[in-house]
Amino acid sequence: MASFVEIDRFNLLPLSLSSLSACSCRLSPSRTLRFSRRFSKLNLRLVIDGSKRVFPIRQARVYTNRRVITALVRAEQDRLDEDNAKEEVGEGQMLSTTEDAVSDRKQKASQLRKRIFFGLGIGISVGAIVLAGGWVFTVSLAAAVFVGAREYFELVRSRGITSGMTPPPRYVSRVCSVICALMPILTLYFGNIDVSVTSAAFVVATALLLQRGNPRFAQLSSCMFGLFYCGYLPCFWVKLRCGLAAPALNTRFGAAWPFLLGGRAHWTVGLVATLISISCIIAADTYAFVGGKAIGRTPLTNISPKKTWEGTFVGLGGCIATSVVLSKIFSWPTSLLGAIAFGFLNFFGSVFGDLTESMIKRDAGVKDSGSLIPGHGGILDRVDSYIFTGALAYSFVKTILPLYGV
C-alpha cells in the first residue's frame, strides 16, 4: 500500500527533529501511524499507511526523510526573505516620505524668504516712485503696463483658453501691448485718454477684420478687453496721482518736506489720495489673508477657493481702519464718513480686481500669470488688486468729495 502525506491550511515554520520527536503519536492496528498533536502555528496531519516504514521510531526520536525537511526549511527561508524585503521597502518608503516632508518645508521657507525680500524691495521702490510723481511715476507705470499686457495676451493664447476660442494673432497681441504702454504717457501729456483709446481700438479692430483667414469674434473681444483691462484702467492712477494737483494744505508732512524736492506744493491731494489708496489695498490683502488663515471656513466663490467670507470681512475692517487712521495723519479726507467710504471703495476695487485676474488664470489653467518676480509670480499677480481701484478712487475724489476733500 502506498504512503501519503496530507497537509492543509498551514503556515510554514522552522521545523526541527526535536519538534517532531516531541509530538505524541500512536500506531493503529492497521499499521497506520497518526500524529495527534497540533502545533500552535502548524496545522499538520500526517497519515502513513502501508507496510513500508517511512518514519522509523527509535528511542522516542523520529528520523524523517531528509528531502521533506529540506523543502520545509527552504520554503520557510523564502518566506522570511520575502518578509524582510517587505520590511525594507516599507522602511524605504517611510524614509522617502520623511525626506520629502523635510524638502517641502525647506522649499516653503525659501519661498517665504523670497516673498519677504522681494516684497520689501517692491514696496520701497513703489513708495519712492509714488513720492516722485510726474514722469517718473508715469514711465514706471507704463513699463509695468507693458509687461502686464504681455502676460495677459500670453494667458489668452494659453491652452486652457484657446481650447474654446481662437486667440488673436501674435503680431496683434504685441501691437496691443505697445498701445497699452503708451496710454499712461498720453494721459499725462494730454490729460485725457478717451480719444487715444477710441483710436487704438479702431486700429486694432481693423487689423483683426482684415487679417488673412477667417476672423473670429473671440479675437476681437479678447483684444478689446485687453486694451481696457491692461491699458485704459491703469491710466486712472496717472490721473489720480498727477491730475489732482490741488495742494493738501492741512497735511503736516508738507511743512517738513524739503524745498529741493518740491516743498509744500509737492504734497497734493493726488499724492495723499494715492498713498492712502495703496495703503488700503495692502491692508485689505494682508488682513484678508490673516483672517482667512485664522478663522476662514466659508468659501467666498469658486473662482478662488482659498478666499473665505470670514477673511473678506476681516480684510474689509482692516481696510476701513487703515483709511480712517491715515485720514487723521494726513488730514484728508476731513470727514470720518468720507474716510470710511474711501476705504470701502478701495476694498471693493481690490477684491473685484483680484477675482477678475483669478478667473482669467483659472480659464487659462495656470497658477501664476508669469515668473518675473521670484516668490510672487508675474506682474498681474501683484497688481491685480490695483487695476480697478485707481478708477474708483479717482471717481470718488473727483466727483463726490467737494474741492478734492480739502
Cα 32 to its chain centre, rounded Å, is 77
Q: Do residues 1 and 49 touch, judged by C-beta distance below 8 A?
A: yes
Query: Residue 158: pLDDT above 60?
Result: yes
Query: What pLDDT is stored for residue 315 in this prediction?
Result: 95
Task: Please provide the size of the chain in residues.
Answer: 406
**How confident is the model over 104-122, as a mean pLDDT?**
72
What percent of the chain shows pLDDT beyond 90? 36
Top mean pLDDT of 54-63, 159-168, 387-396 is at 387-396
CA–CA separation, 101 and 107 (whole Å) = 10
Per-residue pLDDT tens digits for 40-88: 444 444 444 444 444 444 444 444 445 555 555 566 566 666 666 555 5
pLDDT confidence bin for 14, thresholds 50/70/90: very low
Retrieve residue 187's grid coordinates: 494721459
Average pLDDT of the chain is 78
Query: What pLDDT is stored for residue 366 in this prediction?
Result: 82
CA–CA separation, 232 and 317 (whole Å) = 30
Quick check: bond before 56 cis, omega within 30? Answer: no
Retrieve residue 100's grid coordinates: 520629502
Query: Residue 8: pLDDT above 70?
Result: no
Of 7-16, 316-325, 353-362, 373-382, least confident by mean pLDDT is 7-16
Query: What pLDDT is stored for residue 59 in this prediction?
Result: 41
What is the DSSP secondary structure assignment for residue 373, as one 8-state letter?
Answer: B
* Nearest in space to 317 (alpha carbons), one of 290, 353, 355, 278: 290
**How confident is the model over 286-313, as a mean pLDDT?**
90
Q: Do residues 314 and 293 touch, judged by C-beta distance below 8 A?
A: no
Per-residue pLDDT tens digits for 173-226: 999 999 999 999 999 988 888 877 888 889 888 888 888 778 888 888 899 999
CA–CA separation, 267 and 256 (whole Å) = 11
pLDDT confidence bin for 248, thresholds 50/70/90: confident
> At 26, is the secondary structure helix, strand, or coil?
strand
DSSP letter string, 265-316: GG-BHHHHHHHHHHHHHHHHHHHHHHHHHHH--SB--SSSTT-BHHHHHHHH
Retrieve residue 237's grid coordinates: 492712477
Q: Do residues 315 and 291 touch, judged by C-beta distance below 8 A?
A: yes
Burial of 53 by CB count in 10 Å (0-12 exposed, 13-18 middle, 19+ buried)? exposed
Query: Residue 90: pLDDT above 60?
Result: no
Residue 301 backbone zone (phi > 0: left; psi -120 to 50: alpha; other: beta): beta
